[in-house]
A and B are shown apart, each in its own frame.
Chain A
């Protein structure tokens, strides 16, 4: 069983739609949860960083963490074609002090 599961997609939605991305994980010791956006052949860009369970909102992005279910989500409101990219969930035990465990990434396509 893989540590972090993420549907690779592709996920195609029309412009303006609400996008829901999610990951499940098996190791309950993870405490820090992140979402990164990666464009083709580029390094990942940090979108959201959360600690433990709860919600966090930043502009059009909302991250949710449910540690009891080992389930994390990223919501994108008012999606734009420029949001088309691969979205990677990542998690760690000690925040910046240890390396991250990534999901496989979901390829998102926003249709104009």
Chain B
């Protein structure tokens, strides 16, 4: 299957700092990527859709100025949590759909990034 990577896998930061999380599709191109957040013992919640070459689309209730998304190339999307606060601590996961082959249109997820804001 397709491979999606994320970096870093874990980050701890002080309140008020900004944190950047990278999502890469390693063996396929992705014009669209998705960002999710997962709280402990809760389901994954879609935050935003990242579109290569255009602005991201945010789900209702997600602050676009808080969570900046940049989809700079066909294999890379970044999520920047600006002025992070303890309530932003969560597990952030990206996904990307493939567009060819046996797994056409299936979404593959990265390993996730655990953010802890002190």
Question: Which residues of A does B touch, CB under 8 Å?
Answer: 4, 6, 8, 32, 34, 36, 41-46, 49, 88, 90, 95-105
Contact B107 A96 (CB under 8 A): yes
User: How far does the Cβ of A105 sit from chain B's closest Cβ, in whole Å?
Assistant: 6
Give the B interface residue count (CB, 8 A): 31
- Is B83 located at the chain interface by the 8 A CB criterion? no
**Cross-interface CB contact of A96 among B1, B44, B97, cutoff 8 Å:** B97
- Can you list 20 A-B contacts with CB-CB less than 8 angstroms, sorted by A residue number? A4-B43, A34-B106, A41-B91, A41-B112, A41-B114, A43-B93, A43-B109, A44-B109, A45-B109, A46-B1, A46-B108, A49-B103, A49-B106, A88-B44, A90-B44, A96-B99, A97-B97, A99-B34, A100-B95, A100-B107
Chain B residues packing against A (C-beta within 8 Å): 1, 4, 6, 32, 34, 36, 41-46, 49, 59, 91, 93, 95, 97-99, 103-112, 114
